[in-house]
Each structure stands twice: as structure tokens, then as C-alpha cells.
Amino acid sequence: MKYTVAKEIFEMYPGYVRGVVVARGVTNGGPEKAEILALLREAEEAVRQRSDPEDISQHPRIASWRAAYARFGARPSKFHSSIEAMVRRVRKKGKLPYINHLVALGNYTSLKHLLPVGGHDVGVAENDLELKLAQGDELFTPFGTEVVENPRSGEVVYLEGKKVLCRRWTWRQAQHTILTPESRHVAINVDGLPPVTAEEIELICGELAELVRKFCGGEVACRYLREDNPVIEV
């Protein structure tokens, strides 16, 4: 299965890189793992104890996503990137739910490094994957609903064929490819906009890959979508 980032994304957002941790044959079912839960709680506490400005939107790793959203027409104060939404939730409500092993590992990595991390069950996908600007006729069924909607023309969307897997780049995931205990073939996206560097994304993906191997098994590899490498296989 091919996975592509469209040329216009790199033209609009110089320095963008999407790391992808690809895992086959994972085991994502079973009860909570105490070690994973401890990592997640540690990352949550670190977020609460940060000495950054009270307004998290000013943090460079979050402000970059606000600027990116504004560029494709999404109001940043209304539509928060996944990392901004998660940090706000942790600061306000405290603990994130332990949904399953892979989701918890993704949330831990996202909070630890303050960048968007999103996992998808690509084993259910029937078409190639792509990150591109929406035409507006694509179909999106938000997680937890059966309502089908269309993205706005020009917004950044993650697609499988005409099915939107995530709207507004890193904003809201679809029902179609959520990670479940039955997921066996997954692709976990790790997104970096400057000031996050390609080298940092490689280190973070390597760290996440080791955690997936340790706790979920399977065959795990890291791949990178960059301007000079816009297509990978998953």
C-alpha cells in the first residue's frame, strides 16, 4: 500500500516531515499494562509541571500548528491541533483514559515531545493513503458517530481513497481506522513542523518503535515522508 504526501503540502509548509511507525502482527488487546500506564501518567504530570507560559498556544511547538491551521483556513482558536487539545485536556482534567496499548503509547509520545501523534489501523484500508488538500467531496465519519460530512475545500486531510481518516491534518480522526484491540497492522504518524527538525522526528519514531516492539510485539519499522521522499510503502 502506497502512502503519499502531496507536493503542495511541502510547498506550503517548508521543513514539514511526517514520521510513520509501521507495525505488522502487533498484539493490542488485553488488560492495561502497568508500565505503559506509568509512562502516560509521568508524561501528564510533566505537562502540568511545565514552566511554559500559561497560554499553551504560545509554545513554539504548538504555535507552529496554529499558524499552519490558519494558512489553510481553519481558525486556530476554534480548531485545536491534537497536541494542543491534549495538553489543554491534561491541564484541565488531569488523566487521559487508557484506551488500549497503542493509543496509550501514542499519547505518551505526543505529550512527552509536544507534537501530534496519531495511530491508524491500516489493515482495514482498501486504498492507498495520502495527505493532501481536500477537494471538498471526500467523505468523513467522525470517531464515535455515524454522521457523514465533507471537509472544506483546501483543508489538509489524511485520506484512504475518498475516505477522510483525519480532518484538518491532526484535528479529528475518523471512525474507520481507529486503533482497537483487534488491530494488527498499524501506521502511527508522528508530525513535525519547524522548529521540530527531521532529526528529532527520527529519534522520536525510533523511541516509539522500541516501545511498540516491547509491549505489542510484531514487525516494526520507521519510515519518513519528506519533500525529497514523498512516497513510502506501509
Over the stretch 160-180, which tens digit does the pLDDT of each residue have? 999 999 999 999 999 999 999
Check: CB of residue 159 under 8 Å from CB of residue 128.
Answer: no
Amino acid at 96: L
pTM, entire model: 0.96
Maximal CA-CA distance, the chain: 45
The pLDDT score that the predictor gives to residue 76 is: 93
Structural domain 2-233, CATH architecture: 3-Layer(bba) Sandwich (3.50)
96 pLDDT higher than 80: yes
Domain locations in the chain as residue ranges? 2-233
